[in-house]
Structure 1
Amino acid sequence: MQKKRILYLITRSEPGGAQSHVLELLKGFKDQYELVLATGEEGFLLDEAMNLGIRTYLIANLQRNLSPTRDYKAYKEIVSVLKESKPDLIHCHSSKAGILGRLAAHRLGIKTVFTAHGWSFAEGTPLSRKLIGLLPERLLACWTNCIITVSDTDRDLAIRYRIGRPERIVTIHNGITDQALPTVNKDNARPITLIMVARFAAPKYYAQLIDAAATIKANFRLRLVGNGPLLEQMKKRAEELNLSDIVEFLGSRDDVDALLADSDVFILVSDWEGFPISILEAMRAGLPVIACDVGGIHEAITDRTNGRLVPRGEIAGLKLAMQELINDKALRLEMGTQARQQFEQLFTTNIMLKKIEAIYRSLEVNALYARV
């Protein structure tokens, strides 16, 4: 029996949450389906797909920024790729790829699934971003067989803003592969290690984290992992606040698992989120998590159980949460154990793949989600 062909379309190929998610799908479904990947740039995801032996396409004009001329060219490129690859289903990820991919699929009569890794109209996003994103999502929902949201919060938001019919919107939390992590002997004499792994760009709010760190008097270090347009600005801010001996800027790393294993607390400070994979990686490592209570984060982190949730933009609350976990080893260990247990129960790749495959199969048999 011939395998069904699925084409995954995503705008960026750089390391990130959505890209890691697509990579999990490529690894998980490559034996069951004939997979194709199309993306707007070379880099991490495209390289990983080629290493898996998956057919790839580069959509040269597919970019994140709004550009009517390039967007139209990207749309034409996507139509051409779909005509050549002839997928049974296109599964789009990220806003721009979701818009152009669904337009092209509708033109060619191809079934579509769209995973929203956070909405452009979520609370905390700029007004201009909301206005640009809302109307296309409403229109394209009519041509989408199934919309997957990565959190119940995002599903509720879609329904509130009338993005498609509720019965076609399904929550499937992100999942990551469980694995044995490096064993690290954490010397009690060393500084307590806090770590944040994220790109230095919106919606991440590194400035708030650095400002909070400047007010804490304790034996700790703060490791910041990632690159991005705000990196140099944050380095300067840390230097101005005399934090050069406390804050370490580690850049982009391929040993994040080892860094997490050598850490005591994970932090994610953001203005908005969908359901960040970085938090799941921290939970897998058995770390307590401090995060802003935005998007679907509260669906993974329960305040005072496996971490601390702080209001977005509140430096005082962030400082108190950091101080509490820096000073209380027993609490860190208790919350870390709870985080690990919740990861095992809810957020592994196998759990996620089973739910997504159920949607693929429902489309094959022309079930509910196939009626557009």
Structure 2
Amino acid sequence: MKIVHTEASCGWGGQEIRILEEARGMIARGHEACVLCPPEARIFAEAPRFGVPAHALPIGRKRLPGLLALRRWLKDNPADVINTHSSTDSWLAGLACATLPAPAPIVRTRHISAPIAVNAGARWLYGRSVQHVVTTGEALRQTLIRELGLAPDRVTSVPTGIDTQRFAPGDKLAARQALGLDTQSRYIGIVATLRSWKGHLYLLDAFAQLDAPGWKLLIVGEGPMQDNIIAKIDALQLQDRALLVGQRSDPENWMRALDIFCLPSYANEGVPQSVMQAMLTQLPIVTTPVGAILEAVSDEKSALIVQPQNSDALAHALRRLIDDTTLAERLGVAARTRATEHFSREHMLNRMEAIFRSTQP
């Protein structure tokens, strides 16, 4: 098949990484795959690193030039299936295909759990304009079915798959040495784009409450909340204990360096890739019941779940894992077992390939 992904977002996070990983996986299976995106988008710059062809089009906004450019590209480059990912490119692709004589079927992937406007436009966008909708979690799937009245057999949950070889337990001391970290310290960490809803500020408040000599907080990522996070670290006088290390291309090494993983999100999640990466690395996890997170982990069985935007509860859960190494080990082992069985990269590719094939005549 010839698979064309469209992505209007200029940001960089789990959504963009999934697109490139999925496209790379399909290429390895013998399909053609490419990405259409704005020239200024981060995904356009990153695509060569994944071995995925990317073509720059002015589709970052819902404007006529972008619609015409996308229509012209699709007319000149017939595809077997179009996979759209954000609202803007989904609208542009839907309108472009509506004006083409023999358009490719559209599969819309819904990555996040942000609220959807329930109106005629949304019903057309998720209904008549596409042949199938994919969500990154069952909770997101049920929301679309309930709120937009979509037929259940036209909506499928396919959580992002993770490379089980790349993300695996390893030698913590060796990882810390390789990353230039203090080998005498122990580490709580978060690996996520620095966005408000990821909960970094609540994690900093919780960490400041902990009387835990020898423990440090690692914050891996970049994003629009960076200045706020730096200001919070300064206000809490955590400069020597909270390390903001920026965006890294080797998250697997940073995961191996951690003792505890924490993602205190309070909005907009599907099944976060970082949670599944931490699961495969066999880390004890503290997170929240937001979006589709509970489809990956369950409280007291494979993670500790706390209510979002509650620094006190977050601090208490972290304290439990610091004090109870048996609990931490049990949760980590259970998390890796579950992730290996349900969230592998091959499982994702199998399911997406089947969905793409189902759209073919």
* Residue 252 of structure 2: aligned partner: 257
Amino acid aligned to 1:118:
I
* Residue 103 of structure 1: aligned partner: 95
Amino acid aligned to 1:138:
R
* Residue 151 of structure 1: aligned partner: 137
TM-superposed deviation, 1:189: 8.5
TM-superposed deviation, 1:269: 1.6
Within 5 A, what are the aligned runs for 1:42-81?
Answer: 42=40, 45-51=43-49, 54-63=52-61, 71-81=63-73
Q: Flag the 1:43–1:11 CA change in 2: closer, same or farther, 3 A.
A: closer
- Note if 1:23 corresponds to 2:15: no
Q: Contact conserved, 2:38 with 2:44, CA < 8 A, in 1?
A: no
Distance 1:221 1:54 in 2: 37
TM-superposed deviation, 1:136: 3.5
* Residue 332 of structure 2: aligned partner: 336
1:75-131 CA-partner distances (Å, limit 9, x unpaired): 22221221222112101112322232222223323200011001431xxxxxxxx54
Q: Contact conserved, 1:99 with 1:137, CA < 8 A, in 2?
A: no
* Residue 67 of structure 1: aligned partner: none
Q: Contact conserved, 1:57 with 1:81, CA < 8 A, in 2?
A: no
- Note if 1:204 corresponds to 2:189: no
Q: Flag the 1:172–1:189 CA change in 2: closer, same or farther, 3 A.
A: closer
Q: Flag the 1:163–1:115 CA change in 2: closer, same or farther, 3 A.
A: farther
* Residue 179 of structure 2: aligned partner: none
Equivalent position SS for 2:92: helix
Amino acid aligned to 1:288:
P
Of residues 133, 138, 141, the one that matches 2:123 is 138
Q: Contact conserved, 1:60 with 1:74, CA < 8 A, in 2?
A: yes
1:320-345 CA-partner distances (Å, limit 9, x unpaired): 11111122212111111111111110
**Structure 1: segments with no counterpart, 5+ residues:** 64-69, 122-129, 367-372
Aligned identity (percent) is 26
- Note if 1:269 corresponds to 2:264: yes
- Note if 1:361 corresponds to 2:347: no
* Residue 184 of structure 1: aligned partner: 172
Displacement over 6 Å in runs of 4+: 186-189
Q: Flag the 1:52–1:153 CA change in 2: closer, same or farther, 3 A.
A: closer
* Residue 243 of structure 1: aligned partner: 238
Distance 2:184 2:64 in 1: 55
Q: Flag the 1:231–1:49 CA change in 2: closer, same or farther, 3 A.
A: closer
Distance 2:49 2:302 in 1: 36
Equivalent position SS for 1:185: helix
TM-score normalised to structure 1 length: 0.87
* Residue 218 of structure 1: aligned partner: 212
Q: Output the aligned Cα RMSD.
A: 2.2
Q: Contact conserved, 2:24 with 2:51, CA < 8 A, in 1?
A: no
Q: Contact conserved, 1:174 with 1:352, CA < 8 A, in 2?
A: yes
TM-superposed deviation, 1:250: 0.7
Q: Flag the 1:173–1:52 CA change in 2: closer, same or farther, 3 A.
A: closer
Aligned length: 347
1:186-229 CA-partner distances (Å, limit 9, x unpaired): 89983331111112223222111111111111132111111122
Of residues 308, 311, 318, the one that matches 1:312 is 308
* Residue 148 of structure 2: aligned partner: 162
Q: Contact conserved, 1:197 with 1:278, CA < 8 A, in 2?
A: yes
1:56-89 CA-partner distances (Å, limit 9, x unpaired): 21123415xxxxxx53332222212212221121
Equivalent position SS for 1:228: coil
* Residue 369 of structure 1: aligned partner: none
Distance 2:201 2:46 in 1: 32
Q: Contact conserved, 1:172 with 1:355, CA < 8 A, in 2?
A: yes
Q: Contact conserved, 2:20 with 2:50, CA < 8 A, in 1?
A: no
TM-superposed deviation, 1:260: 0.7
Q: Flag the 1:134–1:94 CA change in 2: closer, same or farther, 3 A.
A: farther
Distance 1:255 1:52 in 2: 13
Equivalent position SS for 2:172: coil
1:129-186 CA-partner distances (Å, limit 9, x unpaired): x54x765332212221000111110011111212522221111121111215552238
Equivalent position SS for 2:76: helix
Distance 1:327 1:301 in 2: 21
Amino acid aligned to 1:336:
G
* Residue 118 of structure 1: aligned partner: 112
Distance 1:107 1:217 in 2: 63
TM-superposed deviation, 1:55: 3.4
1:36-57 CA-partner distances (Å, limit 9, x unpaired): 2111245653345335654321
TM-score normalised to structure 2 length: 0.89
- Note if 1:284 corresponds to 2:291: no
Of residues 342, 345, 348, the one that matches 1:352 is 348
Of residues 285, 289, 294, the one that matches 2:290 is 294
1:239-290 CA-partner distances (Å, limit 9, x unpaired): 1111112111111112221111010111112121111111111111111211
